[in-house]
Amino acid sequence: MGRLETADKQSVHIVENEIQASIDQIFSRLERLEILSSKEPPNKRQNAKLRVDQLKYDVQHLQTALRNFQHRRHAREQQERQREELLSRTFTTNDSDTTIPMDESLQFNSSLQKVHNGMDDLILDGHNILDGLRTQRLTLKGTQKKILDIANMLGLSNTVMRLIEKRAFQDKYFMIGGMLLTCVVMFLVVQYLT
């Protein structure tokens, strides 16, 4: 690894390949050593296995150090290439690569603002409609209570009041059925006339 740090650009690949070959050779020998350590007598087996595991751990650290060095070297080479490319590039005042497309960004931003404002308006309208429905509900509840109070004052019994409420419930179904029947008749008339 010390040779790798001091190697020049031409020989760094050769040194990396030598180190990788050595690490691969050590791994293969460690596998054989692990097999041999399992054949040791039981009282020495645990100690031998521990030593083999420690060697594997050390070799894995070497492998990681090699990969980190390669990664740093690739990043450094890429930065040098980019630096050279940037220094060798000639810029002119009318170079199209240096312009920033602002018009599209501004149009996109203004469209987003319009959509945002539209959504705010829709939410506000929905909130106002819900508030209106709440106030209508309270008004209708108050009106219903007043009608029931007047009916009680006139002396109508609870039975008569329940019949009136039942009738109103039944009338709702008749109204819905009538609307559906009217729609069907209108559909049939339009269908046969065309």
pLDDT band at 145 (very low <50, low <70, confident <90, very high): confident
Q: What is the pLDDT of residues 114-124, one digit of tens each?
A: 999 999 999 99
DSSP string, 136-152: HHHHHHHHHHHHHHHHH
pLDDT band at 9 (very low <50, low <70, confident <90, very high): confident
- Compute the distance between CA of residue 64 and CA of residue 72 in angstroms, rounded to an integer: 12
Is the distance from CB of 66 to CB of 12 less than 8 angstroms? no
| pLDDT of amino acid 100 | 61
**What is the distance between the terminal CA atoms of the chain, rounded to a whole angstrom?**
91
Is the distance from CB of 1 to CB of 65 less than 8 angstroms? yes
- Mean pLDDT value across residues 153-180: 81
pLDDT band at 105 (very low <50, low <70, confident <90, very high): confident
| pLDDT of amino acid 97 | 56
Residue of higher predicted confidence among 177 and 153? 177
According to the per-residue pLDDT averaged within each range, which of 50-54, 98-102, 148-152, 165-169 is highest? 50-54
- Mean pLDDT value across residues 145-156: 75
- Compute the distance between CA of residue 87 and CA of residue 94 in angstroms, rounded to an integer: 19
Residue 186 confidence (pLDDT) above 80: yes
| pLDDT of amino acid 113 | 93
| pLDDT of amino acid 91 | 67
Count CA atoms within 13 Å of residue 36 on its CB side: 9
Residue of higher predicted confidence among 16 and 177? 177
- Mean pLDDT value across residues 69-75: 89
Q: What is the pLDDT of residues 12-25, one digit of tens each?
A: 888 888 888 998 99
Helix, strand, coil tally for the chain in percent (to 5): 90, 0, 10
Average pLDDT, the chain: 85
Torsion of CA 94, 98, 99, 102, to 10 degrees: -170
| pLDDT of amino acid 92 | 65
Residue 151 confidence (pLDDT) above 80: no
| pLDDT of amino acid 148 | 75
